[in-house]
Amino acid sequence: MAHNVTVALPSAHSKRARKFVVEFFWSRPFQTILLALLIVLFVGKTLIPAWRHYGAGDISNYYLVAKLYREGRSVERVYDWTWFQRQEDHSGIGPHLVGFIPSTPISALPLVPLSSLPILQAHRYWLLANIAILLCIATLLKRMTHLGWTTVGVLILLATNPLRNHFLVGQLHLLVLLLVTAAAALYFAKRPFWCGVLLAAAAALKIYPALFLFYFLIKKEWRAVCGLAVGSLAFAGVWIYLFGESSLLTYVREVLPWGLTGENIDPYNVGWDSISALLHRLLIAEPELNPSPVIHWPSLYAFLKALFDGTLFVAFLWVIGSSTGSGSRKKLEWAGYLFFLLLLSSEPLTYHFVALILSAVLAADYLIAHDEMTSVALVTLIYVLVCLPYNRLYYYDPDGWRSVLFFPRLFFMLIFAGLFLWILHRSSAIEFAPQLRSRNSVYVALALLLIACGFAQNLHHIHGHFQNYASRVLTVRGSVMATDPVVTSRGLLFTTLVGHPHTTIQDAYAAEEYGSTGVSNFYLGDDSYHPAATAEGDMVWVEVANRHGSRIIRFPAALFRSIDDTTVEVEDAEQPVVSPDGGFLAYIREVNGRNSLWIHQLKAAGTDRQIAGADYDVREAAFSPDHRVVFSSRRDGRFRLFVVNLATKTTEQLDAPTCSARYPSISQDGQWIAFSCEQRGYWQLHAMNLSTKVETQLTNVECNSVSPAWTLDSRSLIYATDCGRGLGMTALAKLNVPR
């Protein structure tokens, strides 16, 4: 039996009503009222709070590096979490938790002229500078488009939460947006070389604008490619001239690769709102940071990550490759490409999305020019949804499939991506079928090859990352860092960065002891680092840092209750190390930003004496049972191990190891030395028999294994590893040393 099916088509009345609503929302009176409300909201919720205080924001990171540079200090070690925090303690700008990963030292240069001022005053000047930058961006957008001032202002201020967070924390992304916007203006004005130079300047501050290289390649804009290359080389030269070659090499070899894999800082944090973070939470377990994923299946993560990145890249290249990019289409492609860079970013925070202002304005300009008001409304709506605050969700630690619920910005970004692809495809001058037969298919094939290569690279990168899980010494859910282990008969001493449920400590470095009764925290009021003790462990020495500098204090481990139970051992001293017999204390003292090594007698009165001058710039030290001291020092761009004989007062470089070596540790029986060798940007654990000079590599994965400490039987090592975690955010694990 046949049935008649009636399809309800939109009536003319409903179409007119929808058109009226859309036109009303884009009418000048409504936009004027909306702009006024947004300005009031921006001033009340952003500018006034930002003027009153700088909070625990990124301004502290940039200001601190700028201050160090102005004082003539080396910034090579700014990616060392504890070293950088120590400098913050000494500067007195806190107390705040600071960290410079993954920023470049060049990103601190805008704050150098302000670094002589108190930080709140510097923050206020930077706030005023950012207001001026925002006005410059608005002026450029007005000149680049056919939109009025009111429309441009509304679209800018609709990025409410990105702008608010940017101003509150004192970020640089508006400056980056200004450079990218100016580069776009030059590109549209057919000045591609200088467009590339400006993008290189933006990439020197934040890396992602350098990825416009692929856009220029696909569009065959060779002059823009040259400009980007020349600009990049110029800023690399500026980097080397201002901060030294070792700083650039450290960033390129030891920091940048982690950013490309989404593992710079806690890759499981839902606050990133990225596909990398979501896949990490769903498919990779980590005992402390992500103990309950849906399933621990790293190979599936490697495949899905490569598939997602490659598919989006393929789709976008295919769409923009279907057009010559002339006229207003160029602006739409630029807007789409900038958006896709943000979508593919592995660790975007709210303030990164100020860059969406350019994408939203250019897309709106194109759609309004083509009288597609419904599409304008849809783009604006999703843009607003992407920019809404979702902060309350980010402090939650979901398990299993519930993690999916805590990535709202990512899902709206994916919807935005689909909308952009649809608009770009629809605006193409080539029909769909010819596109499939055109040479753009070659790009698809190449991109699919990149997916396969990405999958293989991801597998190679994560290989071996998770083997240390079974040998973790202790597991505390939410622990951000555990490092500097010291083994005693009482248990294990170490430095930690975590807020424990049984304490009121939050975001502070403290010494802890892990023994038969669990974890005991030695909170000393200020950040404290690098505990030291003899094998018996009855007495503990710890470095405590504040605005007056660092000092080494001692206290009885069993009787510690508060700072009142401590005694100052040495003033102006860092990183204590105690000799096995408890007779000597070695420590580091900074001299004009470089480290000298000193000896302090514990069992007899005497004057402290320097055993290695600041020219060595000592990084770590360790005692042998016969009172010799081994320390690491950079020489000719590589780290070497040196030994000081306290009896003869002589210093010599060890013939072995021959690698760039740090973190020396001598076994209790004096027969073995453990250390870390730098290999392809990662620090791998080694052990060497001091008699035979036979060296054994103990780790070989693309992550860091550092700060080894021998167990009392001289057969095993406790060490700090960031495998399966973020760069430098280490946990403690144990391994046996083959004999």
Q: Are 726 and 706 a contacting pair, CB within 8 Å? A: no
For residues 662 and 685, give the distance between their C-alpha atoms in angstroms, rounded to a whole number: 10
Q: Which tens digits make up the pLDDT trace of 692-704?
A: 999 999 999 999 9
Task: Mean pLDDT check: name the lowest of 2-16, 378-392, 541-555.
Answer: 2-16
pLDDT at 5: 37
| 433-461 mean pLDDT | 75
**What percent of the chain shows pLDDT beyond 70?**
91
Bridge partner residues of 578 (DSSP):
585
How far is Cα of residue 153 from the mean position of the Cα atoms in its chain?
A: 31
pLDDT at 430: 52
| 215-228 mean pLDDT | 92
| 270-275 mean pLDDT | 88
Is residue 404 one of the residues assigned to a domain? Answer: no
> What residues contact 311, with CB distance under 8 A and at least 6 apart?
451
466: which 2 tokens?
């998770």
Nearest Cα neighbor of 571 from 595, 549, 597, 541 is: 549
Q: Are 483 and 524 a contacting pair, CB within 8 Å? A: no
Nearest Cα neighbor of 573 from 548, 605, 556, 603 is: 548
pLDDT > 60? residue 19: no
Average pLDDT score, the chain: 88
> What residues contact 91, with CB distance under 8 A and at least 6 apart?
64, 67, 547
Higher pLDDT, 326 or 700: 700
| 211-225 mean pLDDT | 92
- If one counts the domains in the chain, the total is 1
For residues 432 and 447, give the distance between their C-alpha atoms in angstroms, rounded to a whole number: 19
Residue that the structure tokens 């702008």 belong to: 163
Is residue 475 one of the residues assigned to a domain? Answer: yes
| 470-483 mean pLDDT | 90
For residues 640 and 511, give the distance between their C-alpha atoms in angstroms, rounded to a whole number: 28
Higher pLDDT, 67 or 648: 67
| 233-250 mean pLDDT | 94
Cβ neighbours of 243 (radius 10 Å): 23
What amino acid occupies position 404?
A: V
**pTM (predicted TM-score):** 0.91
pLDDT at 505: 41
Bridge partner residues of 635 (DSSP):
638
Q: Provide DSSP, 443-494.
A: HHHHHHHHHHHHHHHHHHHHTTTTGGGGGBS---TT--EEEEEEE-SSEEEE
Is residue 354 one of the residues assigned to a domain? Answer: no
What amino acid occupies position 699?
A: T
| 637-650 mean pLDDT | 90
Task: Mean pLDDT check: name the lowest of 383-397, 407-421, 473-487, 494-508.
Answer: 494-508
Band of residue 483 on the pLDDT scale cut at 50, 70, 90: very high
| Three-state secondary-structure class, residue 537 | coil
Residue that the structure tokens 């206020």 belong to: 124
Is residue 695 one of the residues assigned to a domain? Answer: yes
For residues 98 and 62, give the distance between their C-alpha atoms in angstroms, rounded to a whole number: 10
Q: Are 180 and 209 a contacting pair, CB within 8 Å? A: yes
Phi and psi for 671 in degrees, rounded to 5?
-95, -20
pLDDT at 54: 77
**Domain span holding position 503:** 470-736
Nearest Cα neighbor of 318 from 430, 410, 412 is: 430
Q: Are 573 and 543 a contacting pair, CB within 8 Å? A: yes
Higher pLDDT, 430 or 60: 60
308: which 2 tokens?
């997602």
| 150-172 mean pLDDT | 94
| 481-495 mean pLDDT | 94
| 628-655 mean pLDDT | 91
Is residue 412 one of the residues assigned to a domain? Answer: no
Bridge partner residues of 42 (DSSP):
none
| Three-state secondary-structure class, residue 390 | coil
* Bond before 398 cis per omega within 30 degrees: no
Bridge partner residues of 545 (DSSP):
527, 550
For residues 415 and 379, give the distance between their C-alpha atoms in angstroms, rounded to a whole number: 10
| 117-127 mean pLDDT | 93
597: which 2 tokens?
């090594």
pLDDT > 60? residue 126: yes
pLDDT at 7: 39
| 244-253 mean pLDDT | 92
pLDDT at 688: 95
Q: Are 146 and 368 a contacting pair, CB within 8 Å? A: yes
Q: Provide DSSP, 268-317.
A: T-GGG-SHHHHHHHHH--BTTTBS--S---HHHHHHHHHHHHHHHHHHHH
| 562-582 mean pLDDT | 90
Task: Mean pLDDT check: name the lowest of 4-13, 32-41, 530-539, 600-609.
Answer: 4-13
Residue that the structure tokens 């670094």 belong to: 115
pLDDT > 90? residue 141: yes
Q: Are 546 and 499 a contacting pair, CB within 8 Å? A: no
Band of residue 604 on the pLDDT scale cut at 50, 70, 90: confident
Nearest Cα neighbor of 730 from 286, 95, 65 is: 286
| 344-349 mean pLDDT | 88
How far is Cα of residue 338 from the mean position of the Cα atoms in its chain?
A: 20
For residues 522 and 520, give the distance between their C-alpha atoms in angstroms, rounded to a whole number: 7
Residue that the structure tokens 């680092």 belong to: 529
CATH no. for residue 567? 2.120.10.30
pLDDT > 80? residue 4: no
| Three-state secondary-structure class, residue 61 | helix
14: which 2 tokens?
């409903």
Is residue 32 one of the residues assigned to a domain? Answer: no
Q: Which tens digits make up the pLDDT trace of 494-548?
A: 999 865 433 334 578 999 999 878 888 888 888 999 999 998 888 999 999 999 9
Determine which helix (DSSP H) or strand (DSSP E) holds 399, and give its type and residue range. none
- Farthest-apart Cα atoms in the chain, separation: 109
| 410-431 mean pLDDT | 83
Is residue 624 one of the residues assigned to a domain? Answer: yes
Q: Are 105 and 151 a contacting pair, CB within 8 Å? A: no
Q: What angle do CA 83, 89, 93 make, to 5 degrees?
A: 125
pLDDT at 323: 58
Band of residue 8 on the pLDDT scale cut at 50, 70, 90: very low
pLDDT > 60? residue 9: no
pLDDT > 90? residue 424: no
Angle between helices 173-188 and 192-205 (to 10 degrees): 170
| 278-305 mean pLDDT | 95
pLDDT > 70? residue 429: no
Nearest Cα neighbor of 577 from 612, 635, 531, 537 is: 531
Sign of CA dihedral 554, 555, 557, 563: negative
pLDDT > 60? residue 431: no
Is residue 680 one of the residues assigned to a domain? Answer: yes
For residues 424 and 181, give the distance between their C-alpha atoms in angstroms, rounded to a whole number: 20
What amino acid occupies position 209?
A: P
Task: Mean pLDDT check: name the lowest of 232-236, 395-399, 702-706.
Answer: 395-399
pLDDT at 222: 95
pLDDT > 80? residue 173: yes
